Structure 1
Amino acid sequence: MSQEILIDLRTLDLNKTTVDIETIRAVIPHRYEMEQLNGIIQFDPEQKIIVGYKDISDKEFWIRGHIPGRPLMPGVLMLEAAAQLCTYYYKKTTHDDRFLGFGGIDKVKFRGKVVPGDKLILIAKNKELRSRRAIFDTQGVVDGKLVFEAVIIGMVV
């Protein structure tokens, strides 16, 4: 994957939620500490792209223990947030109610930090969509800067 952001974020209103948390909850089963997606800004199956976000509050469960005094969002949770975005795309595009879990993660690169107060913009571009597998290029962006990228492979479980 390249370091270029998959979509020109300047073309989006990053403060406008088109899919709210309650609508996401109707599709994504994660709750409580594992709910890592707050909203969706753009869902465009024709362009094979979805953009969502996670607002990082000072109440996140990992703050107390993930580097006390200097909390950093764990990379695994960034990937989980991206995977939840991919799952929303898969379920809404295929209308498949089965659970889509991790089948693999490739080409992971962490390029910056995510801290309380940040809005983590999540981008997923679908590369392959089959009945039992989906592959996405994903990225996380904070303040216009790429903080992670990965290829996420989802498998129906």
Structure 2
Amino acid sequence: MSANASLLNVKEIMQILPHRYPFLLVDKVIEVDLEKGRIVAQKNLTINEAFFQGHFPEAPIMPGVLIIEALAQAGGVLVYLKANEKTSKIAVLMNIKEAKFRSPVRPGDVLKLVCEGIHFSAKGGKINALAYIDDKIAAQAEMGFALVDKGNI
């Protein structure tokens, strides 16, 4: 994949991530720049999301842990693509630092997931991750990943 902006649809994302419904939280990748170590993805939220039924029915908001999971999935795609591993390894979340939640995420929102690399190696990587609703930060965290063989999961 070149350093130029590229798109990944949900089928291509599912070839990289092991997640499936209801835990696949990245609908598409709208930008990848491997030279800069940056990915921009999105999650489109509707009232039909299972978590909105119970969190909180009278005022539905996306659970913070799922926002972090969406960021981790986008970051996992970036770490995978930077490692250029096409078949045998996947990026697994190893740690989360400095997670902060700044704004609620509601039905109808488009969650923009922006991950930028801090460090990449053959063993994994570390990213800075920001989730946006429009131009407002909803959540942020620093995350570390390890690249592991799919058979060891």
Specify the TM-score bucket, using the shorter chain as the normaliser: 0.7 to 0.9
Contact 2:119–2:127 (8 Å) recurs in 1: yes
Structure 2 residue 81 is matched with structure 1 residue 95: no
Task: State the 1:67 CA deviation.
Answer: 1.1
Matched with 2:15 is: 26
Task: State the 1:110 CA deviation.
Answer: 0.6
Task: State the 1:131 CA deviation.
Answer: 1.9
Aligned equivalents of 2:41 and 2:30: distance in 1? Answer: 5
Matched with 1:139 is: 130
Residue range with higher mean Cα deviation, 87-96 or 28-37:
87-96
Matched with 2:72 is: 83
**Number of aligned positions between the proteins:** 141
**TM-score where L is the length of structure 2:** 0.87
Aligned equivalents of 2:129 and 2:37: distance in 1? Answer: 12
Larger strand fraction of residues: 2
Aligned equivalents of 2:116 and 2:129: distance in 1? Answer: 6
Q: Which amino acid aligns with 1:127?
A: I
Matched with 1:43 is: 32
Q: Which aligned runs of 4 or more in structure 1 are off by greater than 2 angstroms?
A: none
Aligned equivalents of 1:145 and 1:38: distance in 2? Answer: 20
Matched with 1:54 is: 43
**TM-score where L is the length of structure 1:** 0.85
Contact 2:30–2:40 (8 Å) recurs in 1: yes
Matched with 2:151 is: none
Task: State the 1:99 CA deviation.
Answer: 2.9
| Match for residue 97 of structure 2 among 103, 106, 110 | 106
Q: Which amino acid aligns with 2:97?
A: D
Identity of aligned residues (%): 28
Contact 2:80–2:147 (8 Å) recurs in 1: no
Aligned equivalents of 2:71 and 2:90: distance in 1? Answer: 16
- Please give the residue correspondences for 1:60-71 in structure 2 after superposition, counting only pairs within 5 Å: 60-71=49-60
